[in-house]
Structure 1
Amino acid sequence: MVSGKQEGRIKAVLFDFDGTLSTLRAGWEETMVPLFKEAIIGSHQLTAEQSSELDQEIAGYIDQSTGIQTIYQMQWLAEKVKEKGWNPEVKGEWEYKAEYNRRLLLHVDERIRGLQTGKYRPGDFLIKGSEHILELLHQQAIPMYIASGTDHPDVVNEAEVLGVRHYFKEIAGAPVGRADCSKEKVISDLLAQGDLQSEGLAVIGDGKVEIRLAKENGALALGLASDEDKREGLNAVKVERLQAAGADWIAGDFTDTAQWMQWLGLDAELE
């Protein structure tokens, strides 16, 4: 999984957010799966075989679409409801997204309230070692960016409550009410900067979307196969996904600071 040490000093680092730095939204799949199944089936009665096949189809799609903007996942849902024809009530993708966000935010908002009241600490929802690596990059004046498929105001707010917002030169989430691909835009904008060559950019993420974009643009692609429940160690499913996307190197967390800094072509001595 290791392609070799980064040639030269990294000039900028682009992070994915959910699952890469933050675990505030951990468990989103458990929210999306039942929503998808309910919307597709409606009141229709499936056979055991049909139910099993649908479960596999939904799980397969969610796995391969991890990292894209939520609205695209909801477009798939709307098309699938029409295709199956079991549920006569076919809603638009924005309606499905609103219901998904409502359900997901029941859990996320509880965690945010806990952070605001002192019930939780930011470290309870950050991948282990992330605060240290961000501080080291900050000390070495490396510009850092976040690109996320989550709605922009939510990403900014969640970075704020986790105490990491100040590290980032720019945070780009999904534009509210628009189906733009924020990750592609941020990476393209970075590469368009006159003083930044593609080999000077590192992209760190737990989804195949950002890893694929990094490889397509000649950037260093570092996979973060995080176990979001433990916040450390490797998630085998993510390892396989990131390997398939072509990640140059894969880790489960940021605790091995020296190794991370080596791959970024930076000193790990500043503390």
Structure 2
Amino acid sequence: MTIKAVLFDFDGTLSTLRAGWEEVMVPFMKESIVGNQQLTEEENVRMDREIADYIDQSTGIQTVFQMRWLKEKTTAEGWNPEVLDEWAYKAEYNRRLLLSVHERINRMASGELRQEDYLMKGSLAFLQLLQDRGVEMYVASGTDHPDVVREAQVLGVSSFFREIWGAPVGKAECSKEKVMMDLIENKKLSGHEFAVVGDGKVEIRLAKEIGSLAVGLASDETVREGVNPLKEKRLLVAGADVIVGDFTNIDQWITWLGL
């Protein structure tokens, strides 16, 4: 059956403005957990593995839930006596991440780089195709709502989407599952008329649970095309129906979506 609506994740799926967020989160988490404690080599290895594993399995959820894990982990290890709440951790993480995001936006504003330089290859043509075929498009992101809306506008793609859902500021309640269920209920869609496209385990698992087409976008955010083997493995484990690295093979996408 033809797909009537598509829900996209945003960061790492369409946008690369936040590419490298893991390189910001990993040291921030370790710094917060360890504090001034001198770890043994064994403790260092364990901590690096636990942080990497958690980030891998939590990609796609609202940032504040990742910061809640950080708070709980910092408390449990007991190395750093200064334990903040999840919102304080989130504020500092966002501050660090937005340094690079704002730098990239400024490079576009100055004309040094173009919008296409921060979009996955083929994104604009693919979104235009879906619009021309009458497919409704939506975005659900774990990024703060004002930020994801602003970044979609900066990249010139916001007009393609019927609605953009980001994490509500100061609230831990933006559930991709709720977004999906509301869409199916409100649009009177069956699961197989609906597709989810994302680079995180969270949205892929949810898509499979509701019987929708789950397209795993195993994006290489550095070159913006081709398949990232690490993401491919993650998305296959989550149950993705198909794996792709970008939006350049339009014929392939048309076949998958029944267009």
Q: TM-score, normalised by structure 2?
A: 0.98
* Equivalent residue letter for 1:71: V
Match of 1:227 among 215, 220, 225: 220
1:123 aligns with 116
Deviation at 1:53, TM superposition (A): 1.2
| Distance of 1:185 and 1:17 partners within structure 2 | 17
Match of 1:32 in 2: 25
Assess, with a 3 A threshold, how the Cα gap between structure 1 residues 83 and 191 changes in structure 2: closer, same or farther: same
Could you tell me which of 241, 256, 263 is aligned with 2:234? 241
Q: CA distance change for structure 1 residues 24 and 136 in 2, over 3 Å: closer, same or farther?
A: same
> What residue identity is the alignment partner of 2:64?
I
Q: Please name the residue that 2:140 is paired with.
A: 147
TM-fit CA distance, 1:113:
1.3
Is 1:215 equivalent to 2:220 in the alignment? no
Kept in 2: contact 1:175–1:182 (CA 8 A): no
Identity %: 64
Gaps of 5+ in 1: 1-7, 267-271
Residue equivalent to 1:183: 176
- Structure 1: which 4+ aligned runs deviate by more than 6 Å? none
Matching residue of 1:113: 106
Provide the C-alpha distance between the structure 1 equivalents of 2:179 and 2:109, rounded to a whole number of angstroms: 30
In the other structure, the counterpart of 1:174 is 167
Quick one: distance in 2 between partners of 1:74 and 1:55? 16
Q: Note the C-alpha offset of 1:195.
A: 3.0
- Residue identity matched to 1:221: A
Work out the CA distance in 2 between the residues paired with 1:225 and 1:55: 23
SS in 2 for 1:23: coil
Give the deviation of 1:233 after TM superposition: 0.5
Structure 2 unaligned runs (5+)? none
1:89 is matched by which residue type in structure 2? Answer: E
Counterparts in 2 of 1:194 and 1:27: CA distance versus 1, 3 Å = closer
In the alignment, does 2:193 pair up with 1:200? yes
Paired residues in the alignment total: 259
Equivalent residue for 2:244?
251
* 1:6-30 deviation per Cα after TM superposition (whole angstroms, max 9, x unaligned): xx11110100000000000000000
Deviation, structure 1 residue 86: 0.4
In the alignment, the residues of structure 2 paired with residue 75 and residue 191 of structure 1 have an alpha-carbon distance, to the nearest angstrom, of 30
TM-score, normalised with respect to structure 1 = 0.94
Task: Please list the CA deviations of residues 111-163 of structure 1 after superposition, one character each: whole Å capped at 9, or x if unmatched.
Answer: 11112221210110000011111000011111100000000000000000000
Counterpart of 2:72 in structure 1: which amino acid?
E
Aligned to 1:134: 127
Instruction: Classify the secondary structure of the residue corresponding to 1:149.
Output: strand
Could you tell me which residue of structure 2 aligns to residue 3 of structure 1? none
Distance (Å, rounded) in 2 between the aligned partners of 1:146 and 1:208: 16
1:101 aligns with 2:79: no
SS in structure 2 of the partner of residue 83 of structure 1: helix
